């Protein structure tokens, strides 16, 4: 009977021990179980920076509106002087006119190169050719030869240089951009010399004085 009681007591103790150990075993299983997959990251990849337009040339400065207009107008006039000068050197019959025409090619080619550099510094886009007015003058002169060409060409040179001198005087006096203003002031004496040469040469050709009309004779009865 005692052995039966002892056996029952042992069974009770064993059952109690088993019950008590079950939560611990479950906890250990939970701790050592398969790791959960990491949560998917919701962070967005860094945005690619928007490409910016290329920076302007280092040291370049924008010209004021009036100065930019002057640069463009001077470029058109300079190109026209070179084109017409080349035509004059070929078509003129007077040695004085040929000499003047070649001087226009040389001086204005140099000034045009300087102006291109200035325009680049000021972010001013220059025209690629002359305007309609100068093209019309060229078309007219191309049809002339000899003395007729000489007179017409020098007449145009007087008008062009009157316009050019006034344009450069205005910029040299009232320009807002220091560099454009300085270039106009530096170039102005050469244009004034061209202006005087044009008037003198035109005068030699007789272009300054209109031809006198013969006096009308009284009608004879």
Cα radius of gyration (the chain): 47
Give the residue, 112 or 209, on which the prediction is more confident. 112
CA distance linking residue 3 with residue 8, whole number of Å: 9
Residues 169-191 have pLDDT tens digits of 999 999 999 999 999 999 999 99
Burial 31-45 (b: 16+ CB within 10 A, else e): eeeeeeeeeeeeeee
Given a cut of 80, whether residue 92 has pLDDT beyond it is yes
Closest alpha carbon to 76 in 22, 13, 138, 11: 138
pLDDT value for 29 = 38
pLDDT value for 64 = 87
pLDDT value for 47 = 53
As a whole number, mean pLDDT of residues 155-159 equals 97
Given a cut of 50, whether residue 100 has pLDDT beyond it is yes
Residues 5-45 have pLDDT tens digits of 454 444 454 444 444 444 433 444 344 444 444 454 555 55
Q: What is the CATH number of domain 65-120+129-204?
A: 1.20.1260.10
């Amino acid at each position: 009977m005692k052995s039966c009681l002892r056996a029952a007591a042992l069974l009770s103790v064993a059952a109690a021990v088993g019950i008590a150990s079950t939560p611990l075993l479950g906890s250990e299983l939970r701790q050592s179980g398969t790791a959960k997959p990491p949560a998917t990251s919701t962070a967005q990849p860094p945005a690619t920076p928007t490409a910016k337009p290329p920076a302007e040339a280092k040291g370049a400065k924008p010209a004021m509106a009036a100065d930019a207009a002057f640069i463009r107008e001077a470029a058109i006039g300079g190109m026209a002087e070179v084109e017409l000068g080349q035509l004059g050197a070929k078509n003129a019959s007077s040695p004085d006119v040929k000499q003047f025409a070649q001087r226009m090619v040389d001086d204005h080619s140099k000034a045009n190169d300087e102006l291109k550099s200035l325009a680049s510094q000021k972010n001013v886009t220059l025209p690629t050719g002359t305007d309609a007015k100068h093209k019309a003058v060229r078309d007219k002169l191309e049809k002339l030869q000899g003395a007729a060409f000489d007179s017409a060409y020098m007449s145009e040179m007087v008008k062009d240089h009157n316009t050019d001198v006034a344009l450069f005087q205005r910029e040299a006096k009232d320009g807002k951009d220091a560099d454009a203003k300085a270039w106009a002031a530096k170039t102005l004496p050469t244009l004034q010399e061209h202006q005087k040469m044009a008037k003198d040469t035109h005068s030699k050709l007789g272009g300054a004085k209109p031809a006198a009309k013969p006096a009308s004779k009284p009608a004879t009865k």
